A = this chain, B = another copy of it.
């Protein structure tokens, strides 16, 4: 409950690592260095590549490197890249009101929406470069 997924965790670790080494790096390197399951990390990095947060190079001397500076990468963009959408703290914020039986007399959605916004701006303002 209320945890970031391992995928996001791994993604942040990988990005931070790439920011530090500043050369092309392979998923395997990062996986062994931090003892992260390779297959899982590989997919996470593929998603980061798809959204242009990192740039991939195939082939024998291939790997990944950051597309830009680490202080332009927000944690929010990483979450979005990996999870596909911004998670909502309660179901109705996350998925909409469709399968909510009480939206008529729901008393908690509005205030939790504020919490949600607060949370989001925290993640937007937090850059990968700050992850020291």
By secondary structure, the A interface counts as helix
Copies in the complex: 2
From 101 to 120 in chain A, residues with beta carbon under 8 angstroms from any chain B beta carbon are: 101-102, 105-108, 110-112, 114-115, 118-119
CB pair A3–B94 under 8 Å, yes or no, is: yes
Residue of B33, B83, B122, B132 touching A1 (CB-CB under 8 A): B83
Docked pose: A16 CA to B83 CA in angstroms: 32
Q: Which among A38-46, A47-55, A56-64, A123-131 touches the partner chain?
A: A123-131
Q: Is A28 an interface residue (CB 8 A)?
A: no
Docked pose: A66 CA to B4 CA in angstroms: 33
Interface centre among A4, A5, A115 (most CB of B within 10 A): A4
Give the distance to chain B from A47, nearest Cβ to Cβ, in Å: 14
Docked pose: A90 CA to B8 CA in angstroms: 10
> Can you give 28 contacting A-B residue pairs, CB < 8 Å?
A1-B5, A1-B83, A1-B87, A2-B2, A2-B4, A2-B87, A2-B88, A3-B88, A3-B89, A3-B91, A3-B94, A4-B90, A9-B91, A13-B106, A13-B107, A13-B108, A16-B107, A17-B107, A33-B105, A34-B105, A75-B115, A107-B132, A108-B131, A111-B132, A115-B123, A115-B126, A118-B118, A119-B122
